[in-house]
């Protein structure tokens, strides 16, 4: 039989959230394998998935197989893995390639109308139709809450120009007529009536009715299968999705589930058989396909023109700006090196027509400058001389070697990538400015596709299958294996469950299939898309959950794929801190700095870092970084670039850290691995000379692949893409073979080749390019400089920028005190909301602000400060003048902030408690009279130091009166427990006992060791626990706030001390000795990984700024 | 009401600190291997609601998240919180403790308060009474702490925050002064304020002027303190079941005849109806108790589909019921007392009937259901209830009509003008037939059922119903067809399984169309 041509034009992918059960690319691939001539992808009120389908088709046309799926594995940048389809059979790939090239993809949306009308699938007929569709969706999105889209038939009929419409008949056909008529009037000749044969019993009768309706209304009948998944085997997954959506278990879902598995891709032959009564409906699919002349590649992106003044071309204006600003950047004359660089870069920018891009970023940065908001760009293009003179970055190209080369040398024909970090407290201003300047229809934040990860998948699948919450919680806690691998039985047993139980097994299997499915769209952290024309004619815009935010439906990858420009406007806490420090230095010390003007290369700053004295400093403040500092001994800026990049998974997994340190300390000669003849023996020297022959940066690893393993441009790109797969098998093993094979073939030491490869694998997910490291290193230097020269301002700014960084206020304050800063207590007569500086006997003192009091509101503090024209001399006066509620006064009293009135905490509290809850009587206020009569002294007992310390920790999370351990010292001394300082002084190998409060617990890398930092009144000590010890003392580690340990001192040659613990004791009960009634709240550091439980996978390799050892 | 001076009364406080977990452990044959906790869901997080003594011993505490607790004790067993079961158990225990004193009241959470004034002597003294009480709790599997003192407040505080035991008369204040301030059961904030002030025990409070506390912790604070210190009187409100609607007739002359019974019943019903109307309620259950002269008791009940207090209706129901009793009433020498109790009360607002209006159709149907049920028993009067399932045999269910009521489930809608896709009645189980059909999904061309061959002339289908994959014993996929044979008889047939399956697909007839 002659099989007619067929194209499935009504397909929902899993971007019809919790409805479709297949990825867009799988739908495309299956359609091609079935021999369809095309496919129409129409998700529910959304076009979020179309780019995936489109780029999959592009790939299939080029290679005959689809690229791996990118899967987000963690919250931090770079935590990305790849999911691979099984490698293709080459013959099939050829067939697919041939068919794909003749295949047509329609991209549209299924409009689900809220007024009870049948669904309508809309495809653009041309570019204008696409714009109409996206505007229609934008209209529906903007009037709804996030994630919803409210559209009515009216909206559709008024926006129907250039759209091809398929009416999807509902189960009951009675109301169909009116819709058909309305749409046909709105769009004559472009409306189809869909028909399905879903084996519902009355299919043929229904088809006959539809056929009659179609003839009567003059709309052609269109065969379709209203596809929800690519293969009938996905029906159970679709059922589970339905259950998740409806919040029911599968047992109770009943007719909310599909009765059968018919809604999959069917072959043209099968469709022809099913539509034997209406063969014309099949032919109609080809007519519709031919009608659409739209392809996503027609979306042309144009840079916004705002930044270019009238009469200028973008390039000319960029050059003008660059030279003008260069003069002010280098007031002593433009160095020749910079002049040459600028010329070279400008020529490159002209060649690529990138001027509008730089101007747009400059435009945003200048606005930040005007508002006094610190910002700094990063990534390849950001570290150019042009960006330096335009103020986008502060890494001086004259002083430092250039990193722009990477950008210049990229053959990638895509827009450059610059991320700009802003002060975290003020970034929203910039975001709103961008909306204002470009308008909501021209600016939007990119989307982030929230996908199912193991925990969420198993939890929701478990619920859908009717497992109890306890069981799903246990399953979610199981450590998941590699992608595509099942959870091994022993792990299920470990979670206390029976792997033989079919329900458990099914939940696990189903969850694995659900992994990577999109769950909903969310807004990207700061990626903006700006356009010259209307952005809503490019892509639909919707409301975000946050007020005043709107975002588009496409994510970062879609945007890359289509070549749209994205500017990342990100938030960075350290910039807030630095700006606040600059402000304080200007106000109190008369020093005026900006990021670029901080004196470079000061020896004392590096001296401080070499000692590992870096609490609060950007990036290098983690324990691992602090331990690395004395080993690496940074002496110049480039050392900091290395310092930032070296304590990361890539170099560690590649075992590059120790060789680098040995070479740096001179205990190992600097050599360059070289190939055998006839190759250039020095070929790697050029790549690696900056890092002493050891590849440390991401681009070096890539460069090694290209130089030493002779990877072509395309291979390198493929490698870059495949790099993240080190956990799965994927395509990476193909590259592994090539990489090591070719290096060895060319005469390299196989061991070196293998190490380079290990490193590439490590880089995969956590690449730290050199340019990135350089931008960060600048902030490391600036923050170190402030800490060294202006310790009071530094601590003050750091406290005022909380929450950020690694350390709790208690440690910041202690560190400031250790650097000679006098820290003064919170006081109602001295403190402002923020922490402030006061002139003291030895320079500036740090006065704690009211913000340090837990739960004290900013407006209370402002009212208090405003009313403080004269010093307050009594609680009642304070209350009356500042009109504070009693709860505020109680908090002040709790925090012991009335000392200047000669009231100690206890008396103040007793007095504050007595104040009535309501507003003071107006009569008393007017007369400035006291409202309360005198009462006899309550003769409260005197508060002991221990009680004070404990209460300080409860209210302020720190105490200036003493450390809890100092109070408890006699107890521990009697037991032979040493202080942290005493342990630090012991020789390696000594067995000691010590105790301290727990600051942070971490379980990095493979989880074989646990790191715990303890603190006492003399300092901190770092514990290392091997996994076995941890399991034996799990409860102590997890529960103790005060931990006593026994272990062996281990000291590195650089003097870095660890205590390898073998016994732990939970001594938290001792804290009650401070005061039987106050249990001090010891704040764990923000980096503690057990407070915020993360998935074991996320724990295994930690994101950027966290500890890594 | 009897006034009494509480100064000479004695109260026993009983507290079951581990009631929820003890309840769970009672039913188990084996001792627990791991600590046990009851978990509650709180804003999406599972938290420990109550724990057993083993969990308490290793420093777990209520309020911590389950994840946190599991991180410390991976083996922890967690069971969902069931407050209703806890409450039921407390009620049950309360009844059992009635043996010590008729004056028993729940003392929440998880405790009881007994007024044992004058009861101790029966049990060998107060200490003996206390230990008997603990022994009784232990037999029920509950750990218990008791305290006996003059005021209930002192007893409660001593049981929960102190050492428990018996406080000798006149020593309440001395003993209670040693209690921590938590015994006052203040808000966490007030308790912390007292501790911050350095006031730790009730003695610290007792020694200071009350006015200072009233100014800071509210006017009722001193009173509260005095109650615990035994300086003020109070009493308990004993627990009694809510009085049901009861109408009683004690008859001077025993009744023997049905007519006489009807007459008394009519009286009782009108009493009960008046009571129900005052409460704004109707009842769904009426129980009539016949007390025979010789002491035998017989109970007869009727239920209604909707709450009612309409005496004639209920009377009619009783008459139907009494007439159809399997074992007829035997008055013997007559009934000397009849009691009518109305139960399952539900709100019913008074209604003014339209003078001319006939009762609504639905009500008439309900009344019929009630009468039939009264006569035939609930299992004999059934109504079909729609079930939410694709499988025909599960798409509906017969249930007692009085239970189903009006809401008979959601029936699938049918479009007007279209024939029904399914027959009204199904064969249970479907009857096997032999059929010949076209692959892969053609209707049967002819089939043989009960040794008769039917030639199919018309057919429609298939309606494909997939197996319910989540069931352990799943049925095979079915393709249903509506077919008509030469004689114009119409059948609902299905093929179980697909072509090419092993074993081969089988055909069944599942129903007949008219």
What is the ipTM score, two decimals?
A: 0.75
Helices marked H in A915-1070: 922-927, 945-956, 964-974, 980-985, 1027-1032, 1034-1039
What are the tens digits of pLDDT across the range A555-570? 888 888 888 878 889 8
Tokens of A295: 């392809």
A939, A1039, A1078 member nearest B195 (Cβ): A1078
- Which one has a higher pLDDT value, A431 or A1007? A431
Radius of gyration, alpha carbons of chain B: 34
Cα(A802)–Cα(A805) distance, integer angstroms: 8
Give how far Cα A297 sits from Cα of A51, A158, A266, A561, A628, Å: 10, 27, 28, 10, 49
Output the pLDDT for position B435: 93
**For chain A, what percent of residues have pLDDT higher than 70?**
87
Contacts of A253 in chain B (CB under 8 A): 388
- The answer to whether the CB atoms of B196 and A905 lie below 8 A apart is yes
- Which one has a higher pLDDT value, B482 or A925? B482
Cα(A1092)–Cα(A1083) distance, integer angstroms: 13
Give mean pLDDT, residues A1001-1027.
83
Q: CB neighbours (10 Å) of residue B366?
A: 20
Q: How far is A906 from chain B (nearest CA, A)?
A: 5
What are the tens digits of pLDDT across the range A674-722? 888 788 888 888 788 888 888 888 777 777 888 888 887 767 767 766 6
- The answer to whether the CB atoms of A906 and B197 lie below 8 A apart is yes
Helix (H) or strand (E) holding B299: strand B297-308
- Torsion angle defined by CA atoms of residues A875, A880, A886 and A888, in that order, rounded to the nearest 10 degrees: -80
**For chain B, what percent of residues have pLDDT higher than 90?**
20
Output the pLDDT for position A129: 95
Output the pLDDT for position A1107: 27
Given a contact cutoff of 8 angstroms between Cβ atoms, the answer to whether B329 and B290 are in contact is yes
Beta strands across the sheet bearing A419-423: A375-378, A419-423, A566-572, A518-530, A443-451, A550-555, A541-543
- The answer to whether the CB atoms of B208 and A939 lie below 8 A apart is yes
Count, in order, helices (H) and strands (E) of chain B. 15, 20
Output the pLDDT for position A1097: 27
pLDDT band at A295 (very low <50, low <70, confident <90, very high): very high
Give the contacts of A973 (CB within 8 A, at least 6 positions apart): none
- Which one has a higher pLDDT value, A1002 or A126? A126
DSSP states of A619-660:
STTSHHHHHHHHHH---SHHHHHHHHHHSSHHHHHTT-HHHH
- Torsion angle defined by CA atoms of residues A752, A756, A757 and A762, in that order, rounded to the nearest 10 degrees: 140
Output the pLDDT for position A805: 78
Output the pLDDT for position B290: 86
Cα(B441)–Cα(B495) distance, integer angstroms: 9
Asked if residue A484 has pLDDT above 50, the reply is no
Output the pLDDT for position A540: 94
pLDDT band at A77 (very low <50, low <70, confident <90, very high): very low
What are the tens digits of pLDDT across the range B385-424? 888 889 888 888 888 887 766 555 677 777 778 888 889 8
- The answer to whether the CB atoms of A477 and B67 lie below 8 A apart is yes
Give mean pLDDT, residues A491-511.
79
What secondary structure letter does DSSP report for B121? G
Give mean pLDDT, residues A315-330.
92
Q: How far is A496 from chain B (nearest CA, A)?
A: 7
For residue B181, the chain A residue with the least C-alpha distance is A1077
Asked if residue A1093 has pLDDT above 50, the reply is no
What are the tens digits of pLDDT across the range A79-116? 334 444 445 567 788 888 899 999 999 999 999 998 88
Q: How far is B135 from chain A (nearest CA, A)?
A: 34
**φ and ψ at residue A38, rounded to 5 degrees:** -175, 180
Output the pLDDT for position A791: 94
What are the tens digits of pLDDT across the range B28-68? 877 777 888 998 887 777 888 888 888 888 878 888 888 78
- Residue among A536, A299, A525 nearest A438 (CA): A536
Residue A509 touches chain B, beta carbons under 8 Å: no
Tokens of A238: 């679709």
Asked if residue A42 has pLDDT above 80, the reply is yes
What are the tens digits of pLDDT across the range A371-416? 999 999 887 677 788 888 998 888 888 776 655 555 555 545 556 7
Output the pLDDT for position A814: 92
Q: Which residues pair with A840 in a beta bridge?
A: A843
- Residue among A718, A664, A724 nearest A694 (CA): A664
Query: What is the bridge-based pairing of β-strands B396-400 and B382-386?
Result: antiparallel
pLDDT band at B445 (very low <50, low <70, confident <90, very high): very high
Residue B477 touches chain A, beta carbons under 8 Å: yes
Given a contact cutoff of 8 angstroms between Cβ atoms, the answer to whether A69 and A516 are in contact is yes
- Torsion angle defined by CA atoms of residues A407, A408, A413 and A419, in that order, rounded to the nearest 10 degrees: 30
Cα(B116)–Cα(B151) distance, integer angstroms: 11
Cα(B481)–Cα(B169) distance, integer angstroms: 87
Burial environment of residue A335 by CB neighbours within 10 A (0 to 12, 13 to 18, 19 or more):
middle
B70, B208, B482 member nearest A938 (Cβ): B208
Output the pLDDT for position B2: 37
What secondary structure letter does DSSP report for A81? E
B71, B421, B470 member nearest A1090 (Cβ): B71
A259, A506, A894 member nearest B196 (Cβ): A894
What are the tens digits of pLDDT across the range A137-161? 999 999 998 889 999 999 999 999 9
Determine the distance from the C-alpha atom of residue A195 to the mean position of all C-alpha atoms in its chain, rounded to a whole number.
44
For residue B396, the chain A residue with the least C-alpha distance is A254
Asked if residue B239 has pLDDT above 80, the reply is no
Residue A1092 touches chain B, beta carbons under 8 Å: no
Give the contacts of A495 (CB within 8 A, at least 6 positions apart): A474, A475, A477, A478
Give mean pLDDT, residues A811-819.
92
Output the pLDDT for position B368: 84
Output the pLDDT for position B461: 83
Asked if residue A66 has pLDDT above 80, the reply is no
Through-space distance between the first and last CA atoms of chain A, rounded to whole angstroms: 67
DSSP states of B313-356:
HHHHHHHHHHHT-SS----TT-EEEEEEEEEEEEE----PPPSS
- Residues 1035-1064 of chain A with CB under 8 A from chain B are 1035, 1038-1039
Contacts of A947 in chain B (CB under 8 A): 198
Output the pLDDT for position A1071: 83
- Torsion angle defined by CA atoms of residues B289, B292, B298 and B301, in that order, rounded to the nearest 10 degrees: -30
Query: Which own/partner pairs from A975-978 qualify as long-range (CB within 8 Å, at least 24 positions apart)?
Result: A977/A1044
Residue B388, phi-psi category: left (phi > 0), alpha (psi -120 to 50), beta (remainder): beta
The mean pLDDT value of chain A amounts to: 84
What are the tens digits of pLDDT across the range B367-394? 888 888 878 877 888 888 888 889 888 8
Asked if residue A1096 has pLDDT above 50, the reply is no
Output the pLDDT for position A1076: 61
- 3-state secondary structure string, A441-460? CCEEEEEEEEECCHHHHHHH
Helices marked H in A426-526: 427-438, 454-464, 469-477, 489-494, 502-514
What are the tens digits of pLDDT across the range A525-584? 888 888 888 899 999 999 988 888 889 999 888 888 888 878 889 889 999 999 999 999
For residue A495, the chain B residue with the least C-alpha distance is B74
Given a contact cutoff of 8 angstroms between Cβ atoms, the answer to whether B395 and B383 are in contact is no
């Amino acid at each position: 039989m002659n099989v007619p041509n067929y194209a499935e034009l009504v397909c929902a992918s899993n971007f019809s959230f919790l409805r479709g059960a297949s990825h867009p690319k799988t739908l495309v691939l299956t359609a091609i394998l079935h021999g369809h001539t095309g496919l129409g992808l129409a998700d529910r009120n959304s076009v979020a998935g179309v780019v995936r389908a489109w780029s999959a088709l592009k790939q299939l046309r080029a290679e005959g197989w689809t690229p791996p799926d990118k899967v987000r594995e963690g919250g931090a940048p770079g935590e990305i893995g790849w999911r691979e389809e099984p490698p293709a059979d080459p013959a099939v790939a050829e067939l697919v390639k041939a068919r794909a090239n003749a295949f047509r993809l329609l991209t549209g949306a299924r409009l689900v109308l809220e007024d009870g009308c049948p669904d309508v699938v809309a495809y653009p007929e041309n570019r204008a139709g696409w714009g109409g569709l996206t505007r229609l969706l934008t209209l529906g999105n903007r009037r709804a809450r996030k994630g919803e889209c409210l559209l009515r038939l009216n909206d559709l009929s008024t926006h129907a120009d250039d759209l091809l419409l398929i009416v999807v008949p509902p189960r009951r056909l009675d109301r169909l007529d009116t819709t058909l008529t309305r749409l046909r009037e709105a769009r004559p000749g472009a409306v189809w009536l869909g028909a399905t044969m879903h084996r519902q019993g009355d299919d043929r009768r229904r088809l006959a009715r539809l056929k009659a309706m179609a003839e009567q209304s003059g709309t052609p009948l269109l065969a379709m299968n209203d596809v929800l998944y690519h293969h009938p085997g996905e029906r159970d997954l679709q059922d589970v999705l339905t259950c998740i959506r409806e919040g029911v278990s599968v047992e109770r879902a009943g007719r909310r589930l599909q009765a059968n598995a018919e809604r999959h891709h069917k072959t043209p032959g099968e469709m022809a058989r099913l539509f034997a009564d209406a063969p014309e409906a099949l032919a109609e699919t080809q007519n519709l396909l031919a009608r659409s002349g739209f392809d996503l590649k027609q979306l042309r992106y144009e840079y916004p023109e705002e930044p270019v003044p009238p009469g200028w071309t973008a390039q000319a204006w960029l050059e003008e700006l660059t030279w003008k600003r260069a003069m002010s950047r280098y007031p002593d004359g433009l160095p020749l090196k910079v002049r040459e660089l600028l010329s070279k870069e400008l020529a490159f920018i002209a060649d690529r027509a990138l001027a509008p891009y730089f101007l747009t970023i400059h435009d945003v940065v200048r606005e930040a400058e005007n508002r006094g908001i610190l910002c700094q760009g990063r990534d390849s293009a950001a570290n150019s001389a042009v960006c330096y003179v335009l103020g986008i970055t502060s890494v001086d190209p004259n002083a430092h070697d250039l990193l722009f080369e990477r950008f210049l040398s990229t053959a990638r024909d895509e827009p450059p990538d610059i991320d700009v970090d802003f002060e975290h407290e003020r970034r929203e201003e910039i975001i709103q400015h961008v909306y204002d300047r470009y308008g909501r229809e021209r600016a939007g934040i990119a989307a982030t596709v929230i996908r199912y990860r193991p925990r969420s998948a198993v939890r929701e699948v478990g619920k859908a299958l009717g497992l109890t919450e306890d069981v799903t919680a246990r399953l979610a806690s199981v450590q998941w294996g590699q992608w595509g691998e099942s959870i091994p039985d022993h792990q299920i047993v470990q979670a206390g469950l029976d792997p033989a139980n079919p329900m458990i097994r099914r939940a696990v299997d189903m969850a694995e299939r659900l992994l990577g499915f999109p769950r909903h769209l969310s807004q990207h952290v700061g990626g903006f898309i700006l356009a010259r024309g209307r952005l809503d004619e490019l892509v639909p815009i919707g409301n975000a959950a946050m007020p005043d935010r709107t975002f588009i439906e496409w994510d970062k990858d879609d945007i890359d794929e289509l070549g749209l420009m994205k500017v990342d406007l990100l938030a960075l806490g350290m910039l807030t801190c630095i700006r606040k420090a600059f402000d304080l230095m200007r106000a109190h010390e008369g020093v005026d700095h900006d990021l670029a003007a901080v004196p470079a290369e000061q020896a004392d700053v590096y001296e401080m870092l070499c000692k590992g004295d870096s609490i609060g400093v950007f990036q290098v403040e983690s324990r691992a970084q602090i331990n690395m500092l004395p080993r690496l001994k940074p002496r110049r800026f480039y050392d900091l670039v290395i310092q930032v990049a070296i304590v990361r998974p890539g170099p560690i997994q590649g075992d590059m850290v120790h060789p680098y340190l040995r070479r740096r300390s001179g205990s190992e000669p600097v050599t360059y691995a070289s190939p055998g003849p006839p190759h250039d023996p020095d070929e790697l020297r050029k790549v690696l000379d900056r890092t002493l022959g050891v590849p440390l940066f991401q681009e070096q690893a890539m460069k090694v692949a290209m130089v030493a393993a002779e990877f072509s441009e395309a291979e390198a790109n493929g490698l870059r893409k495949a790099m993240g797969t080190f956990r799965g098998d994927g395509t990476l093993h193909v590259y592994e073979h090539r990489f090591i094979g070719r290096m060895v073939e060319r005469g390299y030491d196989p061991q070196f080749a293998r190490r380079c490869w290990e490193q590439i694998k490590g880089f995969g997910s956590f690449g730290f390019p050199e340019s990135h490291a350089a931008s960060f290193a600048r902030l490391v230097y600036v923050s170190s400089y402030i800490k060294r020269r202006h310790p009071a301002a530094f601590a003050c700014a750091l406290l005022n920028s909380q929450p950020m960084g690694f350390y709790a206020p208690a440690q910041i304050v202690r560190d400031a005190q250790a650097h000679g800063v006098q820290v003064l207590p919170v006081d109602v007569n001295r403190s402002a909301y923020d922490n402030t500086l006061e002139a003291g006997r030895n320079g500036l003192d740090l006065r704690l602000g009211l913000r340090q009091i837990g739960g004290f509101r900013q407006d209370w503090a402002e009212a208090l400060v405003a009313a403080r024209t004269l010093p307050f001399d009594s609680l009642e006066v304070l209350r009356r003048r500042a009109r504070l509620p009693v709860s505020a006064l109680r908090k002040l009293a709790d925090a012991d902030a009335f000392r200047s009135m000669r009231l100690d905490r206890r008396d103040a509290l007793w007095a504050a408690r007595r104040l009535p809850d309501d507003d003071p009587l107006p009569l008393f206020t007017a007369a400035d009279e006291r409202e309360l009569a005198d009462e006899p002294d309550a003769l409260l007992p005197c508060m002991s130091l221990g009680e004070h310390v404990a209460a300080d920790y409860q209210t302020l999370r720190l105490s200036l009166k003493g450390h809890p351990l100092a109070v408890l010292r006699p107890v521990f001394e009697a037991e032979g427990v040493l202080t942290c300082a005493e342990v630090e002084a012991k020789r390696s190998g000594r067995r000691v006992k010590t105790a301290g409060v727990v600051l942070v617990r971490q379980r990095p890398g493979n989880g074989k060791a646990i790191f715990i930092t303890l603190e006492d009144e003399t300092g901190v000590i770092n514990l290392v626990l091997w996994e076995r010890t941890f399991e034996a003392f799990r409860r102590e580690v997890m529960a103790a706030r005060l931990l006593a340990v026994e272990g062996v001192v281990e000291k590195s040659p650089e003097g870095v001390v660890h205590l390898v613990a073998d016994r732990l004791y939970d001594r938290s009960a001792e804290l009650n000795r401070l005061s039987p009634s106050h249990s001090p709240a010891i704040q764990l550091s923000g980096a503690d990984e057990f407070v915020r439980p993360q998935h074991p996978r996320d724990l295994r390799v930690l994101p950027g700024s966290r500890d890594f050892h | 009401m009897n006034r009494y001076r509480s100064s000479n009364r004695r109260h026993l406080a009983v507290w079951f600190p581990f009631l929820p977990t003890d309840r769970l452990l009672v039913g188990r044959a084996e001792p627990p291997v791991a600590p046990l906790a009851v978990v509650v869901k709180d804003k999406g997080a599972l938290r420990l609601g109550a724990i057993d003594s083993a969990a308490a011993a290793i420093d777990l505490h209520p309020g911590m998240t389950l994840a946190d607790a599991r991180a410390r004790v991976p083996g922890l067993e967690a069971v969902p919180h069931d407050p209703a079961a806890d409450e039921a158990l407390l009620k049950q225990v309360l009844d059992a403790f009635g043996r010590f004193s008729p004056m028993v009241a729940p003392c929440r959470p998880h405790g009881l308060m007994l007024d044992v004034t004058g009861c101790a002597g029966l049990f060998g003294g107060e200490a003996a009474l206390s230990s008997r009480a603990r022994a009784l709790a232990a037999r029920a599997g509950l750990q218990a702490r008791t305290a006996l003192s003059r005021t209930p407040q002192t007893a409660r505080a001593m049981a929960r925050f102190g050492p428990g035991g018996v406080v000798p008369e006149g020593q309440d204040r001395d003993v209670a002064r040693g209690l921590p301030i938590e015994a006052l059961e203040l808000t966490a904030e007030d308790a912390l304020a007292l501790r911050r002030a350095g006031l730790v025990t009730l003695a610290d409070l007792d020694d200071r002027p009350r006015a200072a506390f009233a100014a800071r912790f509210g006017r009722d604070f001193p009173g509260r303190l005095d109650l615990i210190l035994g300086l003020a009187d109070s009493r308990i409100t004993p627990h009694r079941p809510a009085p049901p609607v009861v109408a009683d007739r004690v008859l001077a002359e025993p009744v023997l005849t049905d007519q006489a019974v009807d007459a008394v019943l009519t009286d009782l019903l009108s009493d009960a109806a008046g009571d129900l109307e005052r409460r704004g309620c109707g009842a769904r259950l009426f129980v009539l108790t016949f007390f025979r002269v010789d002491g035998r008791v017989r109970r007869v009940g009727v239920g209604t589909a909707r709450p009612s207090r309409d005496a004639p209706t209920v009377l009619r129901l009783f008459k139907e019921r009494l007439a159809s009793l399997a074992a007829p009433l035997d008055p013997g020498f007559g009934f000397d007392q009849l009691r009518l109790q109305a139960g399952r009360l539900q709100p019913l607002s008074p209604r003014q009937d339209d003078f001319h209006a006939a009762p609504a159709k639905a009500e008439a149907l309900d009344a019929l259901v009630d009468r039939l049920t009264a006569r035939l028993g609930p299992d004999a009067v059934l109504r079909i209830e729609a079930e939410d399932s694709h499988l025909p045999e599960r798409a509906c269910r017969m249930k007692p009509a009085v239970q189903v009521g009006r809401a008979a489930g959601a029936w699938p809608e049918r479009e007007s003008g279209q024939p029904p896709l399914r027959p009204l009645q199904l064969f249970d189980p479907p009857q096997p037939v032999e059929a010949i059909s076209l692959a892969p999904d053609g209707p049967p061309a002819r089939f043989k059922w009960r040794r008769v061959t039917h030639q199919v002339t018309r057919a429609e289908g298939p309606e494909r119903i997939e197996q319910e994959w989540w069931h352990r014993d799943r049925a095979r996929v079915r393709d249903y067809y509506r077919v008509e044979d030469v004689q114009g008889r119409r059948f609902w047939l299905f093929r179980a399984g697909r072509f090419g399956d092993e074993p081969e697909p089988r055909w069944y007839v599942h129903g007949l169309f008219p």
